[in-house]
Amino acid sequence: MKKINVKEAVGMTLCHDITEIIPGGFKGAKFLKGHIIREDDVEVLLSLGKENIYIWEEDENFVHENDAAEFIRKQVMGNGMSASEVREGKINFVAEYDGLYKINTELLNKINSIGEIIIASKFNNIPVKKGETVAATRIIPLRIEKKQLEELEEIMKDNVLMEIKRINQDLKIGIITTGNEIFYGRIKDKAREALGEKLGKYGVTNIVQVFMPDKKEKITAKIKELTDDTDIILCTGGMSIDPDDVTPDAIKESGCEMVTYGTPVLPGAMFLLGYVKEKVIMGLPGGVVFSKNSVFDLLLPRILAGDIITKKDIIEMGHGGLLS
């Protein structure tokens, strides 16, 4: 690249977008790559702090930032995403539909270790809305060695970096609400409304609810019955320490393959998750049902998107798991 004094650059072609920042106002491209510099641009360029500009010179070992961004896009963009146009060397990745954003963080770290390629991403496993920007890429300007892009290509071989998984709104939810105080009408149930709201956020409305006394065998039998008819079973109440808290044992005895009873997340310490005949079953303690944010709220979009939750997933939630 050749450096040219801006006063001598009239008639020459800009080789990259030039950014203007007005604090609290505008931030964007004032001039675009390819613009031919006119007499009256000189003062504007000087006011943007450009006394000199670069003139592009072809070099087979280097790639221009815009072309590099396009190359990176082709390598890393997954299902359910679209890309913005390249502006000031940067491309944004946008969700094409509401869903669960997945990014392979190990791969992301590898890519960000190459040198001058950066990908900035939202957190893994978060629900996103259609049109939301989930990640962005650029190189550290203005050009990049071809071999760094080749390294990216090698890393991405047969790998998926990021994608938007669809949430299945047709899933049928079975709520088993335990507790003698509710079964015998001493208090009014609040779980249906609270869980309905949490599920409704994702468009899941096919919900049935049954009420059970604190009788282990009866709860177990009901779980077995519901596994044939529903996709996800949510048991509420009786998840902690009282002699009447029989729900965890009732779930275990339903033939459930246990993933966890207990999570390093608050609210949600007494949360239970397992699988019965490939259906997800959860035991939801009071803190989960009646708090806005809990381990359940973090896992729900993943479960609705079909992720299989492992004990490792649960263990890793401790970091950041103090929600309230």
Query: Can you give the binding site for ligand MOO, defined by CB under 6 A?
Result: 266-271, 285, 287-288
With CB under 6 A, what is the number of residues at the site for ligand LQZAQKY5?
20
CA distance 132 to 150: 29
Q: How far is the CB of 265 from ligand LQZAQKY5 (least distance, A)?
A: 10
Give the shortest CB-268-to-ligand MOO separation in angstroms: 5
Please state, as a whole number, how many other Cβ atoms lie within 10 Å of the Cβ of residue 283. 27
Residue among 67, 80, 66 at smallest CA distance from 161: 80
Site string for ligand LQZAQKY5, 259-278 (x = CB under 6 A): ----------xx--------
Query: Which of ligand LQZAQKY5, ligand MOO, none has residue 300 at its interface (CB below 5 to 8 Å by kind)?
Result: none
Rounded to 5°, the CA angle 99-100-101 comes to 115
| Selected binder of ligand LQZAQKY5 within 22, 187, 228, 319 (CB under 6 A) | 187
Q: How far apart are the C-alpha atoms of 40 and 45, rounded to whole Å?
A: 9
Burial of 182 (0-12, 13-18, 19+ CB in 10 A): buried
We find the least distance from the C-beta atom of residue 185 to ligand MOO, in angstroms, to be 25
46 sits in which H/E element = helix 41-47
Residue from 92, 137, 220, 236 that binds ligand LQZAQKY5 (CB under 6 A)? Answer: 236
- Helix (H) and strand (E) counts in the chain: 11, 19
Q: Does 89 bind ligand LQZAQKY5 (CB under 6 A)?
A: no
List the single partner that 245 binds among ligand LQZAQKY5, ligand MOO, none, CB under 5 to 8 Å by kind: ligand LQZAQKY5
Q: Which of 45, 68, 239, 273 binds ligand LQZAQKY5 (CB under 6 A)?
A: 239
Nearer to ligand LQZAQKY5, 75 or 236 (CB): 236
Minimum distance between the CB of residue 113 and ligand LQZAQKY5, rounded to whole angstroms? 40
Please state, in angstroms and rounded to a whole number, the distance separating the CA atoms of residues 208 and 193: 12
DSSP string, 112-142: HTSSSEEEEEPPTTEEE-TT-EEEEEEESSS
Q: Kindly give, in sequence order, each residue whose CB lies less than 8 Å from that of residue 80, ignoring residues fewer than 6 positions away.
A: 95, 96, 97, 99, 163, 164, 165, 166
Residues in contact with ligand LQZAQKY5 by CB under 6 A are 177, 179, 181-182, 187, 189-191, 236-241, 245, 269-270, 285-287
